[in-house]
Amino acid sequence: MTTPLRNQPPSVTVDTVALTIKNHQLQVLITKRKDEPFCERWSLVGDLVDAQIDKSLEETAQRTLVESIGVKAPHLEQYQTIGNTKRDPRGFSTSTIYFALIHAESVHLKSEKIKAEVKWASIHGNQIKETLAFDHAEILAGCIERIRSKVMYTTLPVYLLPQAFTLSELQQAYEIIMDKKIERKSFHRRMLGANLLQKTGEKKHSGRRPAAIYELIDRDNAHYFSRNIGQSF
């Protein structure tokens, strides 16, 4: 069944590290494999590129996300491509890895069947407790590392939140990804000084004093700051 068949053209797959924040934790979407090799093992969401269906690698990523959680990712970004003869017993295999940032509430795992095959796994450090197929654990770890460093100078965490949010919620998203507290004043100065956000005029009345609700002025382009946040001296 899994006899090494070398001298084949490389296989082309796309896998996605789909991240969300649930229960104040960073979580990644994983799915049970239904085919050999690693049948029944958890893995990142992905598939072989189907040139009949997918017009691009990004479409493969979005297709597999829709197949597992029913929605496209609002933010999808290519992480890197792994390709070698070791990662798949069947021969040279490439996987282009994307990461997707998703607001948890936008996802509803529909049938019970899907719920058994697809789930969110909590990330601790760089990994999850489930054993992943192929080199997916290593890929996940590298991808989390990349995102952690990127968060220090970008606005990536907004894509883990709904379209409108409070500054505290946004700060918490940063803190959960970085696994580190940020100074509230520094955070306000940075976010409000960059002219990225506008007040909706609404207030969020959850805790005590209501918080101003903001939304991105330009949701399509992540902002790059020229200095890092959260590094201390």
Partner DNA sequence: GGAATAGTGTCTCTGAGACACTATCTA
Partner DNA sequence: TAGATAGTGTCTCAGAGACACTATTCC
* Contact in structure between 194 and 210 (CB atoms under 8 Å): no
Here's the x/- map for its own copies, 17-46, by CB under 8 A: it reads as ------------------------------
Residue among 32, 92, 146, 148 that touches its own copies (CB under 8 A): 92
- Residue 154 makes contact with its own copies by CB under 8 A: no
Cα separation of 229 and 233, whole Å? 11
Which of DNA, its own copies, none does residue 115 bind to, with CB < 5 to 8 Å depending on kind? none
Within 10 angstroms of residue 65's Cβ, the number of other Cβ atoms is 23
Nearer to DNA, 141 or 182 (CB): 182
Cα separation of 143 and 213, whole Å? 30
Point out which residues bind DNA (CB under 7 A): 166-168, 182-186, 188-190, 192-193, 203, 205, 207-212, 225-233
As measured in angstroms, the least distance from the Cβ of 219 to DNA is 20
Nearer to DNA, 49 or 229 (CB): 229
Nearer to DNA, 34 or 209 (CB): 209
Q: How far is CA 58 from CA 27, 77, 139, 228, in A?
A: 22, 9, 18, 29
Which are the contacts of 213, defined by CB distance < 8 A and separation ≥ 6? 164, 165, 166, 199, 200, 201, 202, 203, 204
Q: Which 173-232 residues touch its own copies, going by CB under 8 A? A: 224, 226-228, 231
Cα separation of 93 and 6, whole Å? 11
As measured in angstroms, the least distance from the Cβ of 66 to its own copies is 18
* Contact in structure between 201 and 215 (CB atoms under 8 Å): no
Binding interface with its own copies (CB under 8 A) = 6-12, 49, 51-52, 54-57, 78, 80-86, 91-92, 94, 96, 149, 152, 224, 226-228, 231
